[in-house]
Amino acid sequence: MMSSSSRPILEVSGLNKWFGAMHALRDVDLTVGAGERIVVCGPSGSGKSTMVRCINALERYQKGLIRLEGEAINPDCDSVLGARRAIGMVFQAFNLFPHLSILDNITLGPRKLLRLSRPDAESAAMILLSQVRMEDQARKMPSQLSGGQQQRAAIARALAMNPKLMLFDEPTSALDPEMVKEVLDVMTALAEAGTTMICVTHEMGFAKAVADRIVFMDQGKIVETADPTAFFAGDCCDRARSFVGTTTSGQA
Amino acid sequence: MTAVVNSSRVERSPAIAQLRRRLAWARANLFARPIDVLLTSTIAAAAVALLWAIVPWAFIDAVWVGENRAACRPDAACWAFIVNRGGQFLYGFYPQPERWRVNAVFLIFAVSVFLLLRRDTPGKRVVAFFLLLVFPILGYVLLHGGVAGLSRVTTDKWGGLSLTLLLGVAGIVVSFPIAIVLALGRQSEMPLFRWASIAYIEICRGLPLIAVLFMARILLPYAFPVGSEFDPLALAVTGIILFESAYLAEVFRGGFQAIPKGQAEAAAAIGFGYWRTAIYVTLPQMLRVVVPGVVNNAIALVKNTTLVVILGLFEVLNIVAAGAADPDWLGLHAEGYVFVGLVFWGLCFAMSRYSQSLERELKAAERS
């Protein structure tokens, strides 16, 4: 595997989280190397989103350690802001800022945190917008765009901070079927360009084509970690096999 | 269906067709059943009777010019009272030759508010800085004088509509930033800040403004050494700000709660901390949501300013009432209160219309 040789970008070890009495994450361990593409799948409520949200400290956790390039990420410490800058996040609901144009959505972070001048930030943003094939929408407001366009703009916004790691939390689940492909195409292009990413998704075609490793979660635990060929061949536990069965039959 | 109707009447002139449509509408909506006929004619008769009583009193027989009440007629309105005292109703006891200073203050305020609200003004930050920090001092210096060759006009001479507006504007403008801090405090994760904000809001919101003003007048002197003098205007403004900032804070809290949680999360994911998230993401969105609530409070506040009479200040309502007690114009209360009612209604209606146009503009801005 790629990660074994290079220094890992992200190390998650012994992660445990409770929502009240509900044990949402149980002893999760995950190591991600530079350039590695991880797809996380599993039934709903299995803790996929919670794990991703813990990684950039949007959720607090009770036990365990998360390290980005060796530095611990602690939600209660100011250093968390630096860690979040280095991690790009794409949400299911896009979460673009509705009061700002697409261009301003993308340049807000670089201007206020990386201290770029407006022209510099805007020319960088235009390059990112052309990568997500949105350069002609730069001056529009989020509410004028389709869901697929909004999600591509949100990807450009996350990329604008030059993240070392990209997190995708079900990026296509809120989209109409005809828009799923345009977002997946952008994500595939990013993966091919060597972006390190952890992607929570139900899109098994995407997982098969792009993932270096597939992580299967169930009831807060990582049940299975396998490369896509082995995973889809069913060389793993029963739960994963039945999950693959339902999702692929659902798509057919 | 309409196409069929139109084609069958194609030879009629449009005016007749419209009249027919209106008659049909009246028949269907006003005279359909006997009870409808009864209701419609009763209401129409009442409206006519009301106009019959008001129009001759207010317009046809009314007196518009005159030096004192001898010019008035007993059975008609005497607007000469309002015309004659107009300067006092606007400026209070502010000396006549110095009244340009009041005009100047309101002109500067109106121009800077206009510049701030216009979308394409360059350097809005400078205007906002001027309005929030420089203007209150400049305005006070201009009105109060005593420096730079301006004669001194003590606050007990201020009055009339200009005082009403001054109290309203000062109440909203100064309360605005305080209320934002209180609303943020109420949701803060720092216990001391949160509890202090909640205590302030709950205490000040639970008191009637009239009680705050009475306390300022009666209790405050006991708390300070005998002989300490308090400027009644300063007391009134302080009382109004105490009261208004608590109310606005709750409006703002509602606005913050209307913003989806994903917005703050998206800001956090970029690496924004508390203040950057507030300044660039949540505050601008909150301010759009609260426009109707803020205007509602501003309308209530403008009407509440009439209570400052407790501190011996004569804003527009009380200066008119005092005018009607003047021997020259004794007993012209009806004219005075009708006039004041129209003034307040005009102010409040203008604010309401403005807030509606602002809401439309903000909605359009999110789509353009």
Taking CA atoms, B321 is separated from A204, B82, B327, in Å, by 80, 11, 13
Do B159 and B41 lie in one domain? The reply is no
Work out the minimum CA distance from B170 to partner chain A, whole angstroms: 29
- Whether residue A97 and residue B273 make contact (CB cut-off 8 A), yes or no, is no
**Between A and B, how many residue pairs show a Cβ–Cβ distance under 8 A?**
68
Mean of the pLDDT values across residues A157-181? 94
Specify the pLDDT at position A250. 43
On whether ipTM exceeds 0.85, the answer is yes
Whose tokens are 């909506």? That residue is B29
Taking CA atoms, B186 is separated from B179, B262, B274, B279, in Å, by 10, 20, 14, 17
> Is pLDDT at A251 greater than 80 in this prediction?
no
B75 lies in some domain: no
Distance CA B262, CA A89 (A): 12
Picking from B263, B272, B367, the nearest residue to A95 by CB comes out as B263
Instruction: Give the angle subtended at the CA of A109 by the CAs of A106 and A112, to the nearest 5°.
Output: 130
Distance CA B38, CA B354 (A): 40
Distance CA A170, CA A132 (A): 18
In contact, A87 and A163? CB cutoff 8 Å: yes
B112 lies in some domain: no
Do B201 and B53 lie in one domain? The reply is no
* CA proximity to B92, closest of B317, B345, B285: B317
* pTM of the entire predicted model: 0.84
B309 lies in some domain: yes
From chain A, pick out residues whose CB is under 8 angstroms from the CB of B365.
99, 141
Nearest CA in chain A to B282: A97
From chain A, pick out residues whose CB is under 8 angstroms from the CB of B288.
99
Distance CA B154, CA B7 (A): 75
B296 lies in some domain: yes
Specify the pLDDT at position A248. 61
Please state which of the ranges A121-125, A172-176, A236-240, B363-367 shows the lowest mean pLDDT.
A236-240
Those residues of chain A whose CB sits closer than 8 Å to some CB in chain B are: 56, 58, 78, 81-82, 84-85, 87-89, 91, 93, 95-99, 108-109, 112-113, 141, 143-144, 154, 157-158, 161
Query: Is any Cβ of chain A less than 8 angstroms from the Cβ of B271?
Result: yes
CB atoms within 10 A of CB B47: 10
Distance CA A236, CA A244 (A): 11
Do B161 and B273 lie in one domain? The reply is yes
B352 lies in some domain: yes
Picking from B271, B281, B288, the nearest residue to A85 by CB comes out as B271
CA atoms within 13 A on the CB side of B167: 34
Listing DSSP states for B270-304 in one string gives: HT--HHHIIIIIIHHHHHHHTHHHHHHHHHHHHHH
Specify the pLDDT at position B156. 86
In contact, B318 and B309? CB cutoff 8 Å: yes
Work out the minimum CA distance from A81 to partner chain B, whole angstroms: 5
Query: Is any Cβ of chain A less than 8 angstroms from the Cβ of B364?
Result: no
Do B39 and B157 lie in one domain? The reply is no
B3 lies in some domain: no
Nearest CA in chain B to A80: B271
Domain that holds residue B252: 81-94+153-367
From chain A, pick out residues whose CB is under 8 angstroms from the CB of B368.
141
Query: Is any Cβ of chain A less than 8 angstroms from the Cβ of B268?
Result: yes
Distance CA B55, CA B208 (A): 39
Do B302 and B257 lie in one domain? The reply is yes
- Whether residue A98 and residue B366 make contact (CB cut-off 8 A), yes or no, is yes
Residues making up chain A, counted from first to last = 252
Please state which of the ranges A43-52, A68-77, A172-181, B293-302 shows the lowest mean pLDDT.
A68-77
Do B270 and B333 lie in one domain? The reply is yes
Number of H helices, E strands in chain A: 10, 10
Distance CA A156, CA B236 (A): 53
Contacts of A215 (CB under 8 A, 6+ apart): A30, A38, A39, A40, A41, A222, A224, A225
Question: Where residue A1 falls among pLDDT bands split at 50, 70, 90?
Answer: very low
Do B189 and B303 lie in one domain? The reply is yes
Reported as a single tens digit per residue, the pLDDT across A187-212 is 999 999 999 999 999 999 999 999 99
Q: What's the total number of domains in chain B? A: 2
Picking from A84, A97, A154, the nearest residue to B281 by CB comes out as A97
Question: Where residue A236 falls among pLDDT bands split at 50, 70, 90?
Answer: low
Do B45 and B189 lie in one domain? The reply is no
| Residue B104 CA to its chain's centroid (Å) | 20
Query: Is any Cβ of chain A less than 8 angstroms from the Cβ of B206?
Result: no
Structure tokens at B293: 């609530």
Structure tokens at B358: 């602002």
Query: Across B187-343, where does the E strand assignment appear?
Result: 314-315
Do B282 and B318 lie in one domain? The reply is yes
Structure tokens at B48: 């006519």
Do B88 and B212 lie in one domain? The reply is yes
Please state which of the ranges A5-9, A144-148, B19-23, B351-355 shows the lowest mean pLDDT.
A5-9
- Whether residue A112 and residue B273 make contact (CB cut-off 8 A), yes or no, is no
CB atoms within 10 A of CB A218: 19
B142 lies in some domain: no
Please tell me which residue, B62 or A50, carries the higher pLDDT value.
A50
Distance CA B253, CA B194 (A): 13
From chain B, pick out residues whose CB is under 8 angstroms from the CB of A81.
271-273
Query: Is any Cβ of chain A less than 8 angstroms from the Cβ of B366?
Result: yes
Do B319 and B257 lie in one domain? The reply is yes
Specify the pLDDT at position B368. 59
On average, the pLDDT of chain A sits at: 90
Mean of the pLDDT values across residues A48-65? 93
Work out the minimum CA distance from A22 to partner chain B, whole angstroms: 22
| Single-letter amino acid code for the residue at B58 | A
Contacts of A178 (CB under 8 A, 6+ apart): A148
Work out the minimum CA distance from B259 to partner chain A, whole angstroms: 10
Specify the pLDDT at position B345. 96
B115 lies in some domain: no
CATH code of the domain covering residue B265? 1.10.3720.10
Do B322 and B358 lie in one domain? The reply is yes
In contact, B22 and B39? CB cutoff 8 Å: no
- Whether residue B368 and residue A141 make contact (CB cut-off 8 A), yes or no, is yes
Mean of the pLDDT values across residues A134-147? 94
Specify the pLDDT at position B118. 76
Query: What does each of the 368 residues of chain B score in pLDDT, given as a tens digit?
Result: 444 455 555 556 888 999 999 999 999 988 889 999 999 999 999 999 999 989 988 888 888 888 888 888 888 888 988 888 888 899 999 998 999 999 999 999 999 988 887 777 788 889 888 888 889 889 999 999 888 788 999 888 899 999 999 999 999 988 999 999 999 999 998 999 999 999 999 999 998 999 988 888 888 778 888 777 788 899 999 999 999 999 999 999 999 999 999 999 999 999 999 999 999 999 999 998 998 999 999 999 999 999 999 988 999 999 988 888 888 888 888 899 999 999 999 999 999 998 898 888 888 877 75
- Whether residue A91 and residue B266 make contact (CB cut-off 8 A), yes or no, is yes
Q: What is the dihedral of CA B327, B329, B331, B337, to 10 degrees?
A: -130
- Whether residue A96 and residue B266 make contact (CB cut-off 8 A), yes or no, is yes
